[in-house]
Structure formats: C-alpha cells, structure tokens
Amino acid sequence: MLKINLFRNTKQKITSSIFFVIFLIFSLYQIIQVEKKVTQDMFEISTVDLFQITQNNAAIIQKILENNDNYIQKIQKSLHLQNKIEENIKLLITNNIKYAYILYKDKKDKFRFLVDASAPNEKAFINQKFDIDSPLWFKVYKTKKPQLIKHEYLKTLSLSYIVPILKDDSVELLLVIDFSLKKVETINDIINLMKKGIIFILLIILIFSVIFIYQKINYNKVKKSAFIDTLTNVYNRNYLQENQDNFNLKEYAIAVIDIDHFKNVNDMYGHNVGDIILRETAKIISNTIRIDNNDVVIRYGGEEFIMMIHKSQKNQEFILKILNRILKTVEENQFFISPTKCINITVSIGVNLEPNKAQNFTSAFKKADDALYKAKNSGRNNIKVSLIQE
C-alpha cells in the first residue's frame, strides 16, 4: 500500500517522460528521413535529363567509331576524329558540367585521357594520366552500365557520371562528365535547425528527468522513514493519517489488536521490558500475515495495533482464522524478558469484516474499536466481530 501510494505519481511521470523522449527520438529520425528524401528527390529531378543526354552522346560516339578495329589507336592517330568527338562531347558542357572527357585504360590498367572537351586552360593532353579515387571506375568494365560516383561535401554534391562506350560487347572507352549540384540550402538549413532543436530538448529532458528521479528517490526514502515506527518497525499513526482515505474499504477488513493489561507489564518489569514485548508482539502480527499481499500493520498508539487485511481470495472465515492464529501465537509465546526469565501475555482483538458498510474509514475503524471494547469486557484474550449494521 505504502509502496503504491508513494510511487504511483513518480511512475506516471517517469512513464510519460519516457514516452515523450521516444516521441522526440522518433521525430528526429523522421526529420533525418525527410532530409534524405529531399536530397534524393532533388538529385533525381536535376539529373534525370543529364544522364539521358550523356548516354545519347556516348551512343553517338560509339556510332562514329563503329567501323574501326581499335578505337583507341584510331583516335590517337586521327586529329580529325579527335576534333569530331571533342565537338560532340563539348555539347555536354554547361554551367554545372565543367568537364566532359573520354578515357581509356592502358595495358597497365592506368586510366588516360583520349579526348577532353574542357576549357583550353584546363584541358588535359592526349594520353595524360588520369588518377581515380574510387574502385567504382573499374566496376563499369564489369557491369558495362553507366556508373555514378558521388563525393558529398557540406553544401554541394560533386559527381562523376561515367558511361561506357562498347566495342564487341566489351568496354573500350569511358565518356565522363563531372558536375556539381548545390543542395537546397534553405530546406536543409531548416531541417538542420529542427534537428538541433530536438537534440537540445532531448538533452534538457534527460537532465531534468535524472534530477527529478534522483530527488524523488531521496524524498521517498525520507517519507518512508517518517511513516515507520522506530520501536516496532511497522507503520505508524502518521502513515494511517496520510493513507486512511486511500484504502478501498471494499477490499479490506479492519482489525484492532490491543495487548491485555499492558500497564501491569510496565509496572512490574519496567518500561524496557514493555518495549521488548511490544516489539515481539508486532513481529508475531507481521509474521502471521503477508505484507507483500497488500496487508498492512500499523502501530496505532501505545500497545494498540491496527491490521488492514486485504480480502483478495480471503473469505471472512479465513480472516478470522488469521486473527485466531495471532491470538493463539501470542498466548503461547514465551516472551523472554531476560536470558532466564520469560512471561506470557495475551491480546484482545476487535474486527470489522465489512468496512465498506461504513461511510468512511473513521466510522469503519470505530466499529472495529467497539468490537475490541467488547472483547475486553468479555474477559480479554478473545476476538469480537463488529455488528454489520451502520
């Protein structure tokens, strides 16, 4: 009961924090996905025509070379052919496509320029070596399909698009265009800002959650100790005051247990012995019930205990059996008041088996207390059940 009351709120708050964090992580993931999608879409829109035109261009070059046995040698030897092909690939050069050229692979698998349509000041010589930065260049020779090589920078995409020119079904030359694409800056800026915002919120929530949980645990520790009776280690009257309205009266039977003639014990053996008896009696009561089963033992005052017995799967007969066991155990127990001397005590018990018939806890408790009074008047060391009517 104590556990449930103290932690219910915390649990709810922790659960909702966890859900909120999951939601934010999910949003972050979505934003990253959107960013990828925007980049991808933008890329496809801006390149679809470009790729087609380059492929057409390669097809034209292939047509020009069609009747030759060795494309490479033929081009190397024929200035006319070089110019013709250069004229052709020059058509690909635009503001965005700075370079368009034809490469071949020499016997040592090194790439070399054959024709270059770049601006005169940047133009490569024929047979000039071309350094590659990715194994994908070789892939074209296997797949015989166009290949795109991307180099991603912060705000631009630098790309090489390679189209193979075939002879007798094997790759002879490569038509290459180099181009760059500006990313859609504003969209990416907004997305980045949102990403940063969410990460910031996540961090703040994380920090606050940790502080909150830490403080709550500390607070609960303090609160719990304020609810425990130091002598007997069962709940004290503060606990009852704090929780009595939270008990669902339908679910509990209320029993009041009072030690008989306890004043005499104190008078005869002293207060310390009285304390020993109190501690041991509380232990007997606690051991008889199962606290983990929502049963609660409270030291209500002096030598008086209240038991809230949870009714789940217990009928009235069973509850009376529990109380009877307490009565008998106390009666038969040897309370050692010194290593050699022990005494016997008894308790009287009043029980209200149907507290839900009362309007509130106080009047339900009073019924049990009235029953206790009757038990005392009937010679003590017995159990009395309160009458049902309100």
* Contacting positions for Mg ion (CB under 5 A): 258-259, 262, 303-304
SS3 call for 97: strand
Cα torsion angle, 33, 35, 37, 43, sign: negative
Torsions phi, psi for 368 (to 5 deg): -65, -40
Residue with tokens 């370079």: 99
Residue nearer to ligand GH3 on the CB measure, 273 or 308: 273
Q: Which of 107, 225, 271, 292 binds ligand GH3 (CB under 6 A)?
A: 271
Judged by beta carbon distances under 5 to 8 A according to partner kind, the member of ligand GH3, Mg ion, none in contact with residue 263 is ligand GH3
Cα torsion angle, 121, 125, 126, 127, sign: negative
Q: How far is the CB of 262 from ligand GH3 (least distance, A)?
A: 3
Site for ligand GH3 in 288-317 (CB under 6 A): 302-303
Site for ligand GH3 in 359-378 (CB under 6 A): 376
Contact 149, 134 (CB under 8 A): yes
Interaction between residue 258 and ligand GH3 (CB under 6 A): yes
Residue nearer to ligand GH3 on the CB measure, 189 or 267: 267
Interatomic CA distance for residues 321 and 386, integer angstroms? 16
- Residue whose beta carbon is closest to ligand GH3: 274
Give start and end residues of each alpha helix (H) in the chain. Answer: 2-65, 71-77, 79-90, 136-143, 185-226, 237-243, 262-269, 271-288, 316-332, 361-377
Stretch that binds ligand GH3, among 54-62, 144-152, 154-162, 262-270 (CB under 6 A): 262-270
Nearest CA among 93, 130, 98 for reference residue 112: 130
Stretch that binds ligand GH3, among 101-109, 163-171, 274-282, 321-329 (CB under 6 A): 274-282
Interatomic CA distance for residues 209 and 214, integer angstroms? 8
Residue 129 tokens read as: 């070596």
Q: Which residues are catalytic?
A: 303
Residue with tokens 């040897």: 334
Contact 65, 71 (CB under 8 A): yes
Interaction between residue 164 and ligand GH3 (CB under 6 A): no
Judged by beta carbon distances under 5 to 8 A according to partner kind, the member of Mg ion, ligand GH3, none in contact with residue 363 is none
Stretch that binds ligand GH3, among 17-25, 101-109, 142-150, 273-281 (CB under 6 A): 273-281
Q: Compute and round to an integer the Cα radius of gyration of the chain.
A: 45
Interaction between residue 47 and ligand GH3 (CB under 6 A): no
Judged by beta carbon distances under 5 to 8 A according to partner kind, the member of ligand GH3, Mg ion, none in contact with residue 271 is ligand GH3
Residue nearer to Mg ion on the CB measure, 311 or 384: 384
Stretch that binds ligand GH3, among 91-99, 247-255, 268-276, 311-319 (CB under 6 A): 268-276
Q: How far is the CB of 262 from Mg ion (least distance, A)?
A: 4
Site for ligand GH3 in 90-149 (CB under 6 A): none
Question: How does strand 97-105 pair with strand 170-182?
Answer: antiparallel
Binding stretches for ligand GH3 (CB under 6 A): 258-263, 266, 271, 274-275, 278, 302-303, 376, 380
